[in-house]
Amino acid sequence: MTDGTPTLSEARPTVTPVPTATPAPTPTPDPRGTVLERRPPDRYQPGQINQIMARLYPPGTSLPARFPVDRHVIRFFSTDGSGAPLEIVAQLFVPAADAAPALPVLVYGAGTTGLGDACAPSREQPTVRTWGDYQAHMLSYATQGTIAILPDYAGFHDETRLQAYFIADLEARVLLDAARAVYAFFGSAPGPVTPQEVVFFAGYSQGGHAAFAAREAAPSYAPDVPIKGVIGHGASTDVGALLRDSPYFAPYVLYSYADYYGPQAVDVSRLLLPRWLPTLRADVTTRCIDAMPGYYGNDARQLYQPAFREALYNDRLGESFPGLQEALARNNAGLVPSAVPALVLQGGADPIVTAQTQGAFVARLCAAGGRVTYRTYANVHHFQTRQVGFKDTLAWMQTLLAGNAPPTSCAGA
């Protein structure tokens, strides 16, 4: 226009198109610990629990039942060493308490039961055939006000796998994901009982190895799991020492390591006498732990090749059997420095994990800067450590739950 007033088109401001934002990808939920199945529970009343505990506990070593307990069988997700999913079966023991405060969680690793599926801890029938009577043991903790879970190890209930026996990494993953499964279980079905943000890892024999392995792996694999303490009842944390102290476990260990690491690393034909080799696979995959001592005996001369026996007992495995030595070293558990306190209970008359072996382990724990409470019981066998140490275990847990530091057996601590 001649007066200088802009036209409508000239007055409209220039608008720069705003680019459409690309939606951020939705994070994939972490499946570890996801509960895949929960079966209807079996309820145990206090009187029934007292009768069941009497099978396992000698008089004076247990406590009277306080709460009824619901036993659930669940399946949950874990992962193997490559990160591939595993499905794990576990028994979950929940105190049936009305309007109870949040309760601590106890993740427990079973001792050796066997390699084959028929020997899985969840398949134990204590009144017919017992490998440790884990039903009575877990009920004894749950009835005192602890949520307790006992998972089967990786490889059980899977026709394509063998139990990853004394493989620290897989044992750790199973126990850590069992803790996650507890929280997932209650998160999907809230009730009067809830889990406290406190987890204790514990285990007997092989399960002690698993518990200490879980403490080691937690910072990288499961930093979300609130670990309060770790407990070993006659813990077999040094696998090489187990081969020396208790040879009848060796066919399980050596066959498992050959399966996991490959026969080039662990060649059982160089380790076991020829008489055991033709039926080795059938023997170790069908014989549960109760059948092993009578079948193999406990004499290293009747089990081991002479060259292997000489190297094993003279600390020279690395010279002639480097693959096995590497596997054993990789699976020693518990020696990574940790601020999580430990309780180690040991029978003075234990022939399977000797007091000498356990004392050396505790010394290494202390040297790594740990806080360790170590107790030995005179004249107590491996099979009695859990029972004799039950009250001490509960008292140690209660000390930590009250916010106090437990006593330490480490010099200068």
Q: Tell me phi and psi for residue 2, to 5 degrees.
A: -70, -20
User: From residue 49, how far is each of 57, 139, 149, 204 by CA, in Å?
Assistant: 12, 7, 17, 21
Q: Is the pLDDT of residue 353 over 80?
A: yes
Which percentage of the chain shows pLDDT scores above 70?
92
pLDDT at 318: 94
The least confident of 7-11, 109-113, 280-284, 305-309 is: 7-11
pLDDT at 115: 96
pLDDT at 21: 55
Q: Is the pLDDT of residue 395 over 80?
A: yes
pLDDT at 28: 60
* pLDDT tens for each residue of 132-147: 999 999 999 999 999 9
Confidence tier at 24 by pLDDT (50, 70, 90): low
Confidence tier at 27 by pLDDT (50, 70, 90): low
pLDDT at 191: 78
Segment 402-408 mean pLDDT: 95
Segment 15-32 mean pLDDT: 61
Q: Which is more confidently placed, 29 or 195?
A: 195
218 vs 211: CA distance, rounded Å: 11
Q: Any idea which residue has 């200088």 for tokens?
A: 4
Q: Say if strands 147-151 and 85-95 run parallel, antiparallel, or are unpaired.
A: antiparallel
Q: Which is more confidently placed, 19 or 329?
A: 329
Structure tokens, 38: 């929960």
pLDDT at 54: 97
CATH 3.40.50.1820 in the chain, residues?
A: 35-238+340-401
Q: Is the pLDDT of residue 386 over 90?
A: yes
pLDDT at 6: 40
Pick from 270, 267, 245: which is nearest to 257 by CA?
A: 267
CATH topology of domain 35-238+340-401: Rossmann fold (3.40.50)
Residue 101 CB partners (closer than 8 Å, separation 6+): 196
pLDDT at 88: 97
Reduced to 3 states (helix: H, G, I; strand: E, B; else coil), residue 314 is coil
Task: State the average pLDDT for the chain.
Answer: 92
pLDDT at 161: 85
Q: Is the pLDDT of residue 201 over 90?
A: yes
Q: Is the pLDDT of residue 19 over 80?
A: no
Confidence tier at 228 by pLDDT (50, 70, 90): very high
- pTM: predicted TM-score of the whole model, two decimal places: 0.92
pLDDT at 26: 54
Confidence tier at 2 by pLDDT (50, 70, 90): very low
Segment 261-266 mean pLDDT: 96
